[in-house]
């Protein structure tokens, strides 16, 4: 990480914490839970750019986190010969922050690691088995039902904590099957996630790979759209086809800085629409 980038990320954390300690406008206060799109190590992410705009963000996002862990808790601790589930720690922290700060907006980024992360292998049929579909739709649709139930649990928990909260959630854009992992200082830290999975199932044609990614991401987004129609405080953010070029992506499942900056602008525009005014302009004299 360059010194300039390191300073930028440190500054955003410091500035946001300073805002959260003050009596900051609720319209500019956000609680965020999510994955690496909200917590991208050694890179700028969506939350960094929202803070830069003037928001105070209490962030509980963690790179690599899964939807199931964020909502229910899947982390365990070993005590002697016993393994104990730690419970819904992440959700409780998020809800506690909502009680404390009473924000108008909660951001939720989840499901990417469940859909197009390493778990994609479990949704694929081996091409040699001559299947009707290269996607095992029965398994994937069952997983999608589980994910919908988890997101509904999150929505209801937030609403029970603060009825005035609006939850914003995007369904990502189409991941790129290019074999690029997450690198830092010329070292591969994690990934690639997609190309090895397709190779394991002998799915080598680019057109078939793209079609599978499109199906998975589309089904996930359609599920979020259904929730948007069902819950008035839940808002789906459309990102599909926003970043069609591989040059816009840092690796298979993460965007470059410019992409996350654009997403921050999209979130801000949605917040403005929900509130009926631009909170950055209205409360510009309160921004510190």
Exposure of 66 by Cβ count < 10 A (0-12 exposed, 13-18 middle, 19+ buried)? buried
Compute the distance between CA of residue 2 and CA of residue 279 in angstroms, rounded to an integer: 32
Exposure of 78 by Cβ count < 10 A (0-12 exposed, 13-18 middle, 19+ buried)? exposed
Spacing of C-alpha 130 from chain mean position: 34
Q: State the greatest distance between any 2 C-alpha atoms of the chain, in Å, as a whole number.
A: 64
Residue 261, CA distances (Å) to 50, 171, 203, 267, 288 in order: 8, 17, 34, 10, 20
What pLDDT is stored for residue 117 in this prediction?
86
**Residue 211 in tokens:** 């079609």
Compute the distance between CA of residue 286 and CA of residue 288 in angstroms, rounded to an integer: 6
What pLDDT is stored for residue 22 in this prediction?
82
In this prediction the pTM is 0.96
Report the chain (288 residues): mean pLDDT per 10 consecutive residues. 88 96 94 97 96 98 96 93 93 98 97 91 97 97 98 98 97 97 81 96 98 98 98 98 97 97 98 98 96
**Residue 39 in tokens:** 């917590």
Sign of CA dihedral 160, 163, 165, 166: positive
What pLDDT is stored for residue 92 in this prediction?
98
Question: Quick one: which of 137, 172, 145, 148 has its CA closest to 255?
Answer: 172
**What secondary structure letter does DSSP report for 129?**
G
How many CA atoms are closer than 13 Å to the CA of 138, on its beta-carbon side? Answer: 3
Compute the distance between CA of residue 230 and CA of residue 152 in angstroms, rounded to an integer: 10
3-state secondary structure of 82: strand
What pLDDT is stored for residue 1 in this prediction?
62
């Amino acid at each position: 990480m360059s010194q300039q980038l390191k300073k930028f990320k440190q500054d955003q954390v410091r500035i946001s914490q300073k805002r959260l300690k003050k009596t900051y406008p609720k319209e500019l206060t956000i609680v965020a839970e999510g994955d690496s799109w909200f917590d991208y190590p050694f890179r700028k992410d969506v939350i960094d750019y929202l803070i830069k705009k003037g928001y105070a963000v209490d962030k509980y996002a963690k790179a690599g986190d899964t939807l199931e862990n964020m909502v229910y808790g899947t982390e365990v601790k070993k005590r002697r010969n016993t393994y104990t589930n730690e419970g819904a720690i992440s959700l409780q922290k998020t809800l506690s922050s909502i009680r404390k700060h009473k924000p108008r907006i909660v951001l939720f980024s989840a499901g990417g690691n469940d859909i197009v992360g390493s778990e994609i292998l479990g949704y694929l049929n081996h091409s040699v088995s001559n299947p009707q579909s290269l996607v095992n739709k029965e398994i994937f649709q069952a997983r999608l039902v589980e994910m919908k139930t988890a997101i509904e649990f999150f929505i209801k928990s937030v609403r029970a904590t603060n009825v005035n909260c609006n939850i914003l959630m995007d369904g990502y854009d189409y991941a790129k099957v290019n074999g690029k992992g997450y690198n830092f200082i010329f070292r591969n830290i994690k990934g690639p996630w997609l190309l090895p999975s397709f190779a394991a199932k002998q799915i080598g044609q680019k057109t078939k790979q793209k079609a599978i990614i499109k199906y998975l991401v589309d089904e996930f987004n359609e599920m979020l759209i259904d929730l948007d129609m069902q819950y008035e405080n839940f808002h789906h953010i459309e990102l599909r086809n926003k970043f069609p070029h591989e040059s816009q992506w840092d690796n298979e499942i993460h965007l470059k800085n410019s992409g996350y900056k654009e997403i921050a602008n999209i979130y801000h525009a949605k917040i403005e629409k929900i509130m009926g005014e631009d909170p950055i302009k209205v409360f510009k004299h309160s921004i510190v």
